Amino acid sequence: MWNDPEKAADLNRRRSVCDAFRQRGNKLNGLIEDAETCLELDGEDEDVDDDFEATLGELQEAIADLEIKTMLSGENDECNAFVSIHPGAGGIDAQDWAEMLLRMFQRWGERSGYSVEVLEYQAGEGAGIKSATLRVIGDDAYGWLKAERGVHRLVRISPFDAQARRHTAFASVDVAPEIDDTIEIEINDADLRIDTFRASGAGGQHVNVTDSAVRITHAPSGIVVSCQDERSQHRNKEKAMKILRSRLYEAEMRAREEARKAEAGEKKGIDFGNQIRSYVLAPYRMVKDHRTSEETGDVDRVLDGDLSPFMKAWLLATGAP
């Protein structure tokens, strides 16, 4: 513990997770005892029925909370998460849509009490972004965000169309857990192409005057990662390698899962027919998840980061982990 502060911090974090589960169990037991007491006193006091209804409501909420937490007990669910966003079909609308998703996930992180870092931001030509990578820091960040992996579809009256026609745009979201150094990932230096470039961003943010940003391309997998949030090229390279290790690990885990389920097939494109969720702003307003049929008409609230109903529905539907 004293000689390895990082290991000590990880152990304390794991302990806090276990303590939280224990506290939930104690709360459930206490509510059950209170409900049983109310049943024993039924008919003796007029206030007992009200107390029973209130206790039952608390018990149902506690069970629902515990059920969700149980779904977040996968191998890497407790880890921090890397979220990568890329525009797909839709041209400049897709670039703008990708930036809207970037803000949506940043707002979700703030709403949920997570710390969010922008590790990479590549501005698009004209509007939006070409790519962006977030690091979301906090307990169960990956467990929640893995529900967002896939293609997101936007339908709206395009602000870039002089004739105000309705356009459809797509963007992909990839999510990987931030794995620790105890997990060995073999990466051959000969398979890497490392490029440096000048950091860029909107309004001067993420902008640097030196070529400190780093982009790493892993030839065998085709995975490309970038980092530009540090002023030091060395630090950006370290972070980019960490993202690459996490992406390679996640890709391997997903490949194994697909093999177990015998779901081999062509990789889905970022276009029609492959979306996990649609955000429709015109001619009506609705957000619908095509995997769970969860939907809402309050599009603005969702785009402002209220994703928890969709995440919870997906976790319960899939029986994660």
Q: Provide the CATH number for the domain around residue 153.
A: 3.30.70.1660
End of a domain among 44, 71, 98? Answer: 71
- The reported pLDDT for the residue numbered 205 is 47
- The reported pLDDT for the residue numbered 204 is 45
Q: Output the pTM of the full model.
A: 0.73
End of a domain among 21, 43, 71? Answer: 71
290 and 156 housed in the same domain: yes
Task: Quote helix, strand, coil % in the chain, to nearest 5.
Answer: 45, 25, 35
Tokens of 212: 């400190």
95 and 216 housed in the same domain: yes
CA triple 150-153-159, angle to 5 deg? 140
140 and 17 housed in the same domain: no
Radius of gyration of the chain, Cα coordinates, nearest whole angstrom = 23
CB-based contacts of 212, cutoff 8 Å, min separation 6: 196, 198, 199, 228, 230, 231, 232, 233, 236
Sheet holding 192-197, edge to edge: 192-197, 213-218, 223-227
Which tens digits make up the pLDDT trace of 179-208? 876 667 778 888 889 888 877 655 444 445
CA distances from 239 to 120, 236, 266 (A): 10, 5, 31
- Closest C-alpha among 118, 106, 88, 125 to residue 199: 118
311 and 165 housed in the same domain: yes
The residue ranges of the chain whose pLDDT is under 50 are 203-207, 263-267
124 and 265 housed in the same domain: yes
Within-domain flag for 76: no
30 and 54 housed in the same domain: yes
Q: How far apart are CA 147 and CA 57, in angstroms?
A: 28
Within-domain flag for 138: yes
183 and 306 housed in the same domain: yes
- The reported pLDDT for the residue numbered 231 is 79
Within-domain flag for 284: yes
CB 211 within 8 A of CB 197: yes
Within-domain flag for 208: yes
Q: How far apart are CA 215 and CA 92, in angstroms?
A: 23
112 and 208 housed in the same domain: yes
225 and 257 housed in the same domain: yes
- The reported pLDDT for the residue numbered 20 is 80
Within-domain flag for 302: yes
Within-domain flag for 57: yes
For 166, list phi and psi in degrees, rounded to 5. Answer: -80, 135
End of a domain among 71, 94, 109? Answer: 71
- The reported pLDDT for the residue numbered 273 is 60
- Helix axes 308-318 and 47-71, enclosed angle (nearest 10): 70
196 and 54 housed in the same domain: no
What DSSP string runs through 46-105? THHHHHHHHHHHHHHHHHHHHHHHHHT-STTTTS-EEEEEEE-SSHHHHHHHHHHHHHHH
67 and 209 housed in the same domain: no
Domain count, the chain: 2
Show the domain range for 62: 5-71
67 and 115 housed in the same domain: no
Which tens digits make up the pLDDT trace of 88-111? 988 999 999 999 999 999 999 999
Residue 299: which H helix or E strand, with range? helix 299-303
Within-domain flag for 133: yes
